[in-house]
Amino acid sequence: MRNLPLIFIILLIAFGCKPTSDKSYNTDIDSNITINQQEKINDFAIIIHGGAGTILKENMSDEKEVAYSAKLEEAVKVGHTILKNGGTSQEAVMKTIQVMEESPLFNAGKGAVFTNEGTNELDASFMDGKTLNAGAVAGVTNVKSPIELAIKIMTDSEHVMLSGKGASIFAEEKGLEIVDPSYFYTEKRFKSLQRIIEREKTELDHNDKTAAFYDADIKNAKFGTVGCVALDKNGNIAAGTSTGGMTNKRWGRIGDAPIIGSGTYANNKTCGVSSTGWGEYFIRNQVAYDISAQMEYKNISLKEATKNVIQHKLTALGGTGGVVALDKNGNMSFEFNTAGMYRASMDEKGNLVIKIYKE
């Protein structure tokens, strides 16, 4: 009996030192090391999109394809040059998006789509991954660069989002360029609105509630947003998104682009994301934030997170669109569930990727 304490101590040591058989626990540790302690593959990088939707090669003229590719290249190179020269991710995102805002090819700024009332109402957002500070604007009609206004709201006000007339007053007070609303007019976008309105009248006349879904203009009425994510040499991630919203939108409708966590999100701990697609579904899914959260809490890679959110969660609810994303280590991801997405990227070595169609 006097040996019982000694036997008990020996048993405790033996079982306490036994290797665990809990494979999930070991996997979590390994995954944490893989995701959070991996080496950088890029000290700086940039990734952009110009909208997603029914983009098919058979419907694209050679001339139009060249034009889109050239503008994507111009935009991504502007940001890449800033990053290469030691500039900030904030500056790179703003300048890159401004190239696309000033092009009638995209649904942002100069190429914005029309509301049902025949006006252009612009939305944008920006987020800084270092501070988690953010700025956003919705429904402005006379500010030349909505992305610049979103950043100015972040840096020069105590607010995150401003809208409509108030946002325009703020922009003017801060010295941003104000333009006549006619600046945003493009014949192509206006004709798209007219075709959709005419189709709606046909639906009412024939009581056919499904006909409009076969109209190309209506199919793509929700797409064309532009966005950018950049990682600078200081390890800071920034993300921004700018859009004209949905063609034929009514009642001051606002989509996901100006909603932090839906259309835009950035966090130096994980990644930056810019979204494009059917905004209502991106809002309901908090798509941009969800990708970051899955990386942080599930310890999965950027590619796994973007694929899970877009191809599974978003698709399961009936949402369509895509994202561009860039993580803290310079990994990049294009993910979309539509027929195409205008997109481009450049890494620290200057490797340029430009794509339009689904592969």
Which residues are known catalytic residues?
225
Identity of the residue numbered 94: M
Q: Crossing angle for the helix pair 164-173 and 146-156, nearest 10 degrees? A: 80
Helix (H), strand (E) at residue 230: strand 226-231
Please tell me the chain's helix, strand, coil percentages from 3-state DSSP, rounded to the nearest 5: 45, 20, 35
Identity of the residue numbered 132: L
What whole-number distance in Å separates Cα of residue 287 and Cα of residue 255? Answer: 13
Paired tokens of 149:
């206004």
How many CB atoms are located within 10 Å of the residue 251 CB? Answer: 8
Number of helical H runs and strand E runs in the chain: 12, 12
Q: Give one word for 224, left, alpha or beta, with left for phi > 0 and alpha for psi -120 to 50.
A: left
Paired tokens of 342:
């205008």
Separation in Å, CA 292 to CA 27, 101, 170, 224, 350: 20, 26, 31, 23, 26
Paired tokens of 304:
């796994």
In a 3-state reduction of DSSP, which class is residue 260? strand
Identity of the residue numbered 276: T
